[in-house]
Structure 1
Amino acid sequence: MRKTLLLLVPVLLLNACSWGITMDEGAKNVRTAWSGDVSGCRQLGKVTVSVMDHVGPVDRNTITVRDELEVLARNQAAEMHADTIKPLAEPTDGSQPWGAYQCGTAGLKPGQQARPAATTSAAGNAKTFPIKGG
């Protein structure tokens, strides 16, 4: 019984890390410019968001950390009345800077995210796609 409890506690702690990070209603209308093209937009500011990227000596799932950072950035952008965010750098130690922009939503449905097109490797035999569907 005691061994089971000792094995179960770390698993529960790791899962608890993402509980409570939810997208605000206004953030659903904020798109993410993964391609980085915000040339026709007005910059409203910069936000830096952070989450725990490890619990004790255990690293958290990288995809989960990235998703949580995006949700937090969209929440902050909505408070600034921005409709678009763009990552300014890769996540480092659970922290990531994002640009907040006002671009308008011409041609996009609310909550729709701009995603980069699939790319083909130099060898021409592999394609890559964004991890999270829009």
Structure 2
Amino acid sequence: MRKTLLLLVPILLLGACSWGITLDDAAKNVRTAWSGDVSSCRELGKVTVSVMDRVGPVDRNDIKVRDELEVLARNEAAKMHADTIKPLAEPADGSQPWGAYQCGAHQPAPTGAPRAPAGSGSAPGQLQTFPVHGG
């Protein structure tokens, strides 16, 4: 029984790391411009978000850490009335800086993707990101 408990505790602790990090309703309208041009947008500021990237001696899954950083950045950007975020650097030690922008109708398109004419919907090749839930 004691051995089973000792094995379950680290698993539960690792699984608990993402509990409570959810996308706010207002943040659902915040887009992520991974490599898009935000030069036509108004810069509202910078947010730096952080999560635990290690639990004791164990590194957490890099994709999960990056996902949680994006969710937190979108939540913070929504509080600033931004509609677009863009990473300013790669994550380091569980922390990452993001730029917050107000682009309005001028949604940044991925580099090299054509922009859609006004009123025609989204541009071909334009992507929207959603947080990954679960394992």
- Distance in 1 (CA, whole Å) between partners of 2:59 and 2:101 is 32
8 Å CA contact 2:36, 2:110 repeated in 1: no
Q: Name the counterpart of 1:82.
A: 82
1:36 deviates by 3.6
Rate the CA distance shift 1:46–1:133 in 2: closer, same or farther, 3 A: closer
- The one-character-per-residue Cα deviations of 1:13-50 (angstroms, maximum 9, x if unpaired) are 00000000000000000000011410110000000000
CA distance in 2 between partners of 1:116 and 1:3 (Å): 53
For structure 1, list consecutive stretches of 5 or more residues without a partner in the other structure: 118-131
Work out whether residues 37 and 111 of structure 2, in 8 Å CA contact, stay in contact via their aligned partners in 1: no
Tell me the number of residue pairs that the alignment of Structure 1 and Structure 2 aligns: 115
Tell me how far 1:115 sits from its aligned partner: 5.6
Q: In the alignment, is residue 25 of structure 1 matched against residue 7 of structure 2? A: no
Q: What are the superposed Cα offsets for residues 28-79 of structure 1, whole Å, 9 maximum, x if unpaired?
A: 0000001141011000000000000000001100000000000000000000
Q: Deviations for 1:84-128, whole angstroms, at most 9, x for unmatched residues?
A: 00000000000000000000145x7xxxx96668xxxxxxxxxxx
Q: 1:13 to 1:61 in 2, by over 3 A?
A: same
Partner of 1:44: 44
Q: Please give the secondary structure, in 2, of the residue aligned with 1:52.
A: coil
Given that 2:44 and 2:100 are in contact with CA atoms closer than 8 Å, whether structure 1 keeps it comes out as: yes
Within a 5 Å distance, the mapping from 1:86-97 to structure 2 comes to 86-97=86-97
Instruction: In structure 2, list runs of 5 or more residues that go unmatched.
Output: 113-127, 131-135
Structure 1 segments of 4 or more deviating over 2 A? Answer: 113-117
Tell whether the 8 Å contact from 1:31 to 1:114 is kept in structure 2 after alignment.
Answer: no
